[in-house]
Structure 1
Amino acid sequence: MDPVAALIVLAAIVLVGTTVGVVLRHRDGHVRHRAREREHATATALGRDASEFGSDATLVQFSTEFCTRCPQTRRVLGGIAQQREGVTHVDVDLTHRPDLAKRFHVLQTPTTLLVDAAGTVRARIAGAPRRDEVIRELDTILETAHA
């Protein structure tokens, strides 16, 4: 292969890789609402006791033993849950429950589901969640619950 053509191919590969990385990094940690039919994340579906779930909302964190961002996510979500009455934080370790990763379409850890009192997933966050976005979305869920 001609050296100029090889450099052009290499530059194209680097450009595509960089673009994909920037797009994924930008989307990481943002709240996404599901456009399709709502999924449910109840205590039973997660193999947990119902007493672990909040009366108004639950922050469900999917993590793994080897996740480097999961401990920080656990602290953030736990802190938010402690500040809100009727809200709890539940950490589900997918290392021991890979069936849940498939069932809830978890492609990366941490992944957080914001679940209302009925068990309906109201929002999903792939990657480390941004505290202000979680609080804003949680406030919306709580307003609906108390209306």
Structure 2
Amino acid sequence: MAHAHHDHHEPQGADLAQAAQATLERAGEQWTAMRASVFGALAGFTKPASAYDIADAVSKSEGRRVAANSVYRILDLFVGANLARKVESANAYVANAHPDCMHDCIFLVCDSCGQTTHLDDDRLTGGVREAASAAGFQPVRPVIEVRGRCAKCAIN
């Protein structure tokens, strides 16, 4: 654990898509037109998006129906390759703004507006991993979700 908390340069738009493509290809997978479309749609959402939300966005942009089942398969691949993160409590996904950097997930989920913020804190997630290991459990990838109200909603 090199850093307890740190910031990343977070690429956006075409730069983010290029970073995602490079990460996926390093993992031995192809960056197909459909995968590019799904990633582009996912990255375009400002809040976590369901597979159905993404399928609708891709369907509209391509002028043809795209099944949510196809999107789910691609999202599973993206999560496994670190291109996307799953917000478990919402069964929704966010694009990983730094796909070449592996961290466990900490999500702050606003119960009022749905905004979700992703934090990296290796000290905290390392403690979770250590506690799991001490209990005889082999953690694969902890996901921590903190529900509450974001700063904007808290003042309203």
Instruction: Flag the structure with larger Rg.
Output: 1
**TM over 0.5, yes or no?**
no
Provide TM-score, normalisation by structure 1.
Answer: 0.29
